[in-house]
Amino acid sequence: QREKRDRQLIEETESREAERCIQQQKRDHQLIKETEAREAEERVQREKQRRQRIEETEAREAEERIQREKQDRQLIEETETREAEERIQREKRDHQQSDALFLKLYKLERTIDPLLAPQIYNNRFCPLISRLPEELLLCILDFLRDDVVALHILRVVSRTFFRLLNYQSVFWRGTDCSIPTISTSLPIVLRRQFRQLLQRDGRCDYCRRWNDANAHRLFDDCKFQQNDRLNSDGSKVSLKSLYCTLYCYACRSRHDVCQFSSTYQQALGDQPERRCLGQQGSVQLCGHVQITWARIKAHIDNWRQQQCGGDWQACLDSFNIECHNKSHDTRCTASEAPTWPRARLRTSRWRSDLVLLNLEWTPHSRIDVLGLTSDGRIPASKLRAMFQKLRSLGPADILYPRCRPGALPEMSCFSPSSRLGQLIYYKSGKANETRTPPASFRSPPYDQWLLLYDGHDTGRNGKRLDIRPHYLRDGGKRTQLPECIVVNYEKDIMICKTTDIANPAVNIIPTDHWLHAMDTDTYPHPQASQIRPQCSNSSCTNFYRRRKEYYYC
């Protein structure tokens, strides 16, 4: 009984202790929950306060930043306004100075011949060149000695620097130029720099941007062929896109894809009407006559069928195209032959195996009606107006284009320093400009007065200009001025070789020189990223109607 009571007492004691432990654990757990809730609430309050402080700080910083940006913008605007105002004032002063200088040049040109006025103007208003002694100019050149490109540019812009930087000048010693006075002797990198500087002048904004984007090119790509083209990084075009050809149904031959219009290049499948640009375009003889390749080819084919391998010279002699527009006939007397512009086939004087299309016009100009001065000289202004009138008739500007707008290559043989300069009166603004003629004044040359040629007789669109006197009086003395001068303009284009004419098996197709000689208005301009786009700005050097002196194929 005692053990039973002891066990029961123990069990009751353990039960009370267990219940007490459970109660204690409940109290502890509740206390922990209350503590955690209180801490969480405090933590939330602290986070809320921290975010509020951060937002207030950010708002304050943003407001300060906005104020600073506003102040900076205001300062920039004030600075830009001030700079713009200063620039406007500076441009206004420069414009006023330019107007004053142009006015002085205009006044000089009114009293002095236009050929002499710029020289006198430069001597008076360009002190760097005209007033500084040559010793100082040599010091300036010595300072630029390491910049070969700058030396070449100086040779271009000034007669004085052109003379100082001659072939024997010491400034070329130790440079990279094999031939000092020729820019083509520069290394490739320097030639590109020289070309980029030259291309800044006379170009419109669009052409300047294209030049900057294609600064890696030393020459413009030929727009009629793909050979040796370069990518923008200077690497060559992949062979996959190189030498693509299309079949021309007019020539019955395959040509470079660039010799076709973009319409034919993009079309798929056979196109029986497909013709190359050489068949579409034409060469201009004057403003009234266009010569097509089909016309030349038909003449040669007809001769082949009729002669069956005869003398091919007869084929050349029988080809003759003339324009009988009255404006082209400038003969002095009715008994002389008309001066029609004409096109004929002939062989080259330098290479007898080449057949050339020769375009020629030989107009006459009376100089006895120009009104000579009291001492028997020809006024340069009237002589210049005579050549301007001659060029307004059309063929002259086509066969021998001007090197720049307003230039007259015919006047190059009448400069004051030439052998004919004594025959010409250049208005210098002096009160009394009459003079006693020198002993040789009454003995002008009676043969050729002027001969200018550039690649003539080679077939590469060469040109030739010569002037000779024309005496109208039979048996007249050759010691007097002629009554007339004869100006001869010529241009030649390679057609084929002489062996090709006599061989009917040879298919005669348009040559590269024919393609470059075509009138740009008679065929669509090839479209490609590496080809210079046509410029429609007439004041730009790259104006598409202006004849290109050189082309690189």
- For residue range 163-193, list pLDDT tens digits in order: 888 877 777 776 666 566 666 778 888 888 8
H or E element in which residue 354 lies: strand 354-361
Residue 14 lies in a domain: yes
- 424-425 vs 378-379, strand pairing mode: parallel
CB atoms within 10 A of CB 300: 21
Locate all alpha helices (DSSP H) within 308-404, ordered by sequence: 312-317, 380-391, 395-399
- Structure-token pair, residue 12: 């009751």
Q: Phi and psi of 312, rounded to 5°?
A: -70, -15
CA angle 460, 465, 469 (to 5 degrees): 155
Residue 20 lies in a domain: yes
The domain tally of the chain equals 2
Residue 337 lies in a domain: yes
Alpha-carbon distance 430 to 6, whole Å?
A: 156
pLDDT per residue, tens digit, the chain (553 aa), is 888 888 888 888 888 888 888 998 898 899 999 999 999 999 999 999 999 999 999 999 999 999 999 999 999 999 999 998 998 898 888 778 877 877 877 777 667 777 777 777 777 777 667 778 888 888 888 888 888 888 888 888 887 888 888 877 777 776 666 566 666 778 888 888 888 888 777 788 888 888 888 877 767 767 887 654 444 444 554 444 445 888 999 999 998 888 888 888 877 677 888 999 999 999 999 999 999 999 999 999 998 888 765 678 888 999 999 999 999 999 888 888 999 999 999 999 888 899 999 999 999 988 878 888 887 788 888 888 899 999 988 799 899 988 777 788 888 878 777 777 778 888 776 654 545 444 444 455 666 777 887 888 888 888 999 998 888 765 545 546 778 889 999 999 999 999 888 888 889 999 999 999 999 999 988 777 777 888 888 878 888 877 776 666 6
Query: What range defines the domain where residue 384 resides?
Result: 281-428+449-517
Q: 485-507 burial string, b = 16+ CB within 10 Å, else e?
A: bbbbbbbbbbbbbbebbbeeeee
Residue 264: name the closest of 282, 277, 283 by CA. 277
**Secondary structure (DSSP) of 445-463:** -SS--EEEEESTTTTEEEE
Last-in-domain residue among 32, 66, 90: 90
If 0-12 CB within 10 Å is exposed, 13-18 middle and 19+ buried, where does residue 101 land? middle
Last-in-domain residue among 90, 109, 141: 90
Residue 22 lies in a domain: yes
Residue 398 lies in a domain: yes
Residue 120: name the closest of 135, 110, 130 by CA. 130
H or E element in which residue 466 lies: strand 460-470
Residue 97 lies in a domain: no
Residue 526 lies in a domain: no
Last-in-domain residue among 90, 110, 128: 90
Distances 336 to 331, 363, 436, 514 between C-alpha atoms, Å = 6, 12, 36, 33
> 486 pairs with which residues across the strands?
364, 468
- 460-470 vs 450-454, strand pairing mode: antiparallel
Distances 67 to 70, 121, 191 between C-alpha atoms, Å = 5, 57, 53
- Structure-token pair, residue 111: 């009293």
Distances 291 to 170, 273, 329, 522 between C-alpha atoms, Å = 53, 21, 20, 11
Nearby residues of 342 by Cβ (< 8 Å), 6 or more positions away = 285, 320, 321, 322, 323, 359, 360, 361
Alpha-carbon distance 275 to 258, whole Å?
A: 12
> Which pLDDT score, from 0 to 100, does residue 232 have?
43
> 40 pairs with which residues across the strands?
none
Alpha-carbon distance 125 to 245, whole Å?
A: 59
Residue 473 lies in a domain: yes
Question: Can you give the length of the chain in residues?
Answer: 553
H or E element in which residue 206 lies: helix 205-213
Alpha-carbon distance 456 to 332, whole Å?
A: 28
Alpha-carbon distance 59 to 55, whole Å?
A: 6
Contact 250, 275 (CB under 8 A): yes
Alpha-carbon distance 126 to 132, whole Å?
A: 10
Q: How far is CA 317 from the centre of its chain?
A: 39
CA angle 448, 410, 463 (to 5 degrees): 80
Residue 171: name the closest of 153, 144, 137 by CA. 144
